[in-house]
Chains A and B, each alone.
Chain A
């Protein structure tokens, strides 16, 4: 059969970052995929090297709006690694609270978008409505909905007020029943089972070979989590479980992410309840010459920062590796052999800063346009409607 190449991207009206996929399809089957990134390049590493250590914290917060805690967290840990110093206990707890709040809102955001791609607008709206509650908590604790600016080398910038603790705990308690309902609605829905089970399978061996990270790896049975393997913050002082599933399909990624939301609520509550008293900032004056690494578990996987200092007030080299960079190549195995209508959710399943389906155009070899990006989402939504009808008839 003749191969057709489908360019997806780089722009999409509903979504976030520009990225460019080239899907090669034979009929309805996807046979190959190529990813091109770089539409979002802003020269952050160079910018960070132009600024002082303190100023850099704010720049790298803007690497990603959803991971606006993970990057400063890894960066400050890299600086603390250069000095080889600890952080006050209260600061570690506050860092953990902010990081987990971010994980909850990031996973809910993904869940909503996954629902949208599958044609479940209800899940989309419910998940995003629930996410607002968490953003309220974060706004109360840090002063902003997304860019928290809580981190500084050696500690945190702001303290959590004692008066805010019961309010935050109350909000966290109040979202649990809704979360529970959302979990039931998503995980026990037969249509969703039909759409996601056995789709986009990433085997355990492939996950290891591709060095997949975060929920993508954990859904494939690779029990890898920086929070457990190399504890930082307060993760070794509170009780929580790593969620690992075996199958590696899209459904398992759903299970892992929803499970992690519950674990994050648990961690956040434990930290808020046991928030120790004391200093929040160790007060770093100078960074001595040397190099340091910092790695933490972001919502999408391990974020890694490398910083080299020559004793001045600026980093000489700052290297950032974000988790999506490692997870993107897994498309090479997961998308191959899937139908075009499943490609949308498979590409979304690793929670990349996924985007761009809209500017895609389906072209036949003569260059005639057959459809655009919305057709891809429509195909996916129609498949769900078809399955729904079929199940209704039975």
Chain B
């Protein structure tokens, strides 16, 4: 196993990016950090800068304003990096599929590793998704 991947198993640092969401997924992500759910036990911490992150958590419907910025941020993440799409909007644009400002879903723009459905997904679902991601890292 690649030493860089092995190191990630216990210390995935997370950068959270909202590409035009309604806040709900973002708050549930924050909720995961607080005492009841405490995602830190999997070694996950929010990273202050994109350049320290191993994992991009992307919420929202990828509107025109954010797509270019998101691509630029994605290019700046040190490799290996993983992308998790959280919530219905990031998966398929959900309710905003007919909106003039949300041209394409997230996985047409950048590759996505784990999808967590829900509007918003419960913190339990987010944690389950993260554990699946860890499995994926382990088997890589």
Contacts and interface: CB of A to CB of B under 8 A. Distances in A.
A35 B88 CA distance: 29
Given A11-B18, A42-B101, A58-B95, A353 B48 contact: no
A42 B120 contact: no
Interface stretch (B3-11, B27-35, B105-113, B128-136): B27-35
Contacts of B104: none
B84 to A, nearest CB: 13
Interface residues of B, number: 42
Given A11-B73, A15-B26, A64-B23, A43 B101 contact: yes
Contact of B99 (A10, A39, A47, A145): A47
B15 interface: yes
B24 A68 contact: yes
Contact of A41 (B14, B73, B101): B101
B40 to A, nearest CB: 11
Interface of A, secondary structure class, is loop
A13 B26 contact: no
A110 B19 CA distance: 22
Interface string A44-71: 1011001000000011001111101000
Q: Describe B's contact surface by its main secondary structure.
A: loop
Given A16-B23, A18-B66, A358-B48, 9 more contacts: A13-B47, A17-B21, A17-B23, A43-B96, A59-B95, A65-B22, A66-B23, A124-B34, A146-B120
Interface of B: 14-28, 30-31, 34-36, 46-49, 53, 60-61, 63, 65-66, 69, 73, 95-96, 98-102, 119-120, 122
Interface of A: 10-11, 13-18, 38-44, 46-47, 50, 58-59, 62-66, 68, 109, 112, 124-125, 128-129, 132, 145-147, 353, 355, 358, 372-374
